[in-house]
Structures are given as C-alpha cells and as structure tokens.
Amino acid sequence: MRRFGLIMGLWLGLLAAGANAGTYTLTDGSRVSGAPMTYQEAGVVFKQGSETYSALVPWGRFTDEALKQLMTDAATPRERAIVEPMVADLPAENPQSPEITISPVETPARPTGHLGLLAIFTSLEGWVILLVLYGANLLAAYEVAVFRNQPFQRVCAYAAIPFFGIAIPIYFLAMPTVPLPEADLGPASQPEPLSPTFATAPVFSRTTEGQSPPSPASSENIPPAAAAASEPPPGELPPPIIYQRGDFSFNRRFFETKLAAYFRVVLGEAEKDMVLQIKSSRGDFIGKRISRITPTDLYLQVFKEGATADEMIPFVEIMEVQIRHKDLA
C-alpha cells in the first residue's frame, strides 16, 4: 500500500507538471517551453519532456509578461514568494484614459433688426438711460452756474438743447468766475462806510408792525439841529450795526460783501476796536474776524480761556449779526 501511494503521487506530479507547461517569452525574443519545475534565487528550471529538463534560465531574461505568468503558475507559496518581488517592481500600466466626447457647441443666434447706435431709441431701457444722462447734464449745468456766478437760467437753457447741451457745463466751467456787482444787492442793503467814530452809522433792525423803515428821501429832510442831536458827542461809543434774519439772507455772499473788511488777518484802523457778535440757535459768539468761509458755514475767530479758536457756525443757525465796539456791553 505504501508503494502504491508513492507511485500515485509521482503520477499526479507528472500530470500537474504537464498541466502547468507553457511558453514563456525571453527578452532576446526567443521562447522557452515547458513546465516550471524548480524556482530558485538565480532562475527557473523547466521540464520539457518526460526525462528532459532545460538549463537554468535567469530571472533577468524573462519579459514582464513571462514573470507575471510564472507567478501565476507557481505551485507553492515558497515559489510565489521568490517571484513576487520581481513582479511588484514592474511599472504599473497606465490606465486607459476615457474617451472624451466633444459635443457640438450651439452658438446663439445673432440679433437682427435695428442695430447700431440708433438702436438705443427703440427700447425702454435706452430711453431711461438717455433721460438719466439728460437730467445729470442739467444738474451739472446748474452747479457750474452757481460756482461761476453765472445766471443759472441761461446756463440751464443752453444745457437743455439736445446733443449740443452736453458741452455747455464744460464751456462755462472753463470761463472765469464773474465778480458779484454791488448793484445786485439793492439800494436798501448797500453797506455803509465804517468810520472810526460811527457817527452816522445807521441801525438795521426789524421794523415794528405798522411802521415802515425810513427812506433815504426822508433822511435828507432832517433839520441840521436834529441831525446834530442824533450824533453821539465826542468820547461816547458808536452805536452797533445790526443785521437780523428776515431783513437779510445770511449766506456766503452776504458776509463777503457786508463784512469784507473782517476777513483780513490784520484789521484796519476802523475795525481794530470792533468785534463781531453772532447770535445763533446754539448761543452767542463774539470774535474779531472771520478766518474762513464755505458755501454753508463760516468760521469765527473767538476768544476761549485767554486764547483764540475757530468756531464753526452754519448759516442756517444764525439769527442776528452785530458789529459793535469792544467796550460796548
């Protein structure tokens, strides 16, 4: 029985060797056929017949496909462990990139009909844009007219001309500023010359109800005795000059014409003993001169704790402006 089992084992081994027989490609282009019988560190021995064996074939002579096939044909784990490191060092095959399908691009249809610059007049959006630009041009013309002291009615009328009026703000902006004539203020609001004694300085105040302010004609009919009585005797302080809201409009034009002498850094002989008292909704401010003025407010140089400071006073808050002697309470 023992002998019979050995014979059966040899017979099965021969059958397995015959079943694993294959053809392996070498790097020089030749091929070796047979069943791998012995896996060694140096190479492989193939059985090519019942009693025929090939010479030892080194591992380096096998191609990549042959090494992978030898790993598959390994019968034992030991043989697989010998050939597995050589198969692991093989470069991985680049995966086949998927085919890219380019879909045709559908271009949008080009517009037809009214094209060009005149197309802006055929849509609601175009008219809205034109109206906005038209209004902006009129606003620019008005601002330029105010800045250059030009009649805004005339400037805006020129700017209202379609297509041509867009250049009007640029034209008037390039022109020099027109000086303000004294005659535009009216005879009733002309400033009186300031004398050192203010002997004949008029007092501007709001008239009481039912009375009318004295006219220049009536002042000429005052008898000499009455005129002399109205003048303060020598040594007395001159009366203040008062400008009240309602009788005058307090703006930049008013201060630049009525109080032009108080913009200078060094005041003249007639103004050095005078002070400006401005009554506003925030309180009373007393100063010597106006240091700066803007279209909406002025800066009065006032006295605070023994030093001077610029106090900003908006025109809308001013209720009354007085020019009086510094010793007059």
Mean pLDDT of the chain: 76
Pair 39, 24: CB distance under 8 Å: no
User: Phi and psi at residue 84, in whole multiples of 5°?
Assistant: -65, -45
Report DSSP state, residue 304.
Answer: E
In CATH terms, 2-88 corresponds, of 3.30.9, 3.40.50, 2.60.40, 2.30.30, to 2.30.30
Cβ neighbours around 96 below 10 Å, total: 6
What are the boundaries of each domain within the chain?
Answer: 2-88, 117-174, 182-207+236-325
Stretch 150-176: mean pLDDT: 87
Q: Roughly what angle, to the nearest 10 degrees, separates helices 77-88 and 64-73?
A: 160
Stretch 60-64: mean pLDDT: 82
Question: Which comes out higher in pLDDT, residue 285 or 91?
Answer: 285
Cβ neighbours around 16 below 10 Å, total: 12
Question: Which comes out higher in pLDDT, residue 228 or 130?
Answer: 130
User: Phi and psi at residue 326, in whole multiples of 5°?
Assistant: -70, -25
Percent of the chain predicted with pLDDT > 90 = 16
Stretch 158-187: mean pLDDT: 75
pLDDT value of residue 243: 94
116-136 pLDDT, tens digit each: 777 777 788 888 998 999 999
pLDDT band at 74 (very low <50, low <70, confident <90, very high): confident
266-284 pLDDT, tens digit each: 888 888 889 999 999 888 9
Q: Which residues of 51-71 are buried (b: 16+ CB within 10 A; e: fewer)?
A: eeebeebebebbeeebbebbb
Contacts of 175 (CB under 8 A, 6+ apart): 148, 150
pLDDT value of residue 250: 92
pLDDT at 183 over 50: no
Which of 177-186, 199-208, 241-250 reaches the highest mean pLDDT? 241-250
Burial of 211 (0-12, 13-18, 19+ CB in 10 A): exposed
Stretch 61-86: mean pLDDT: 82
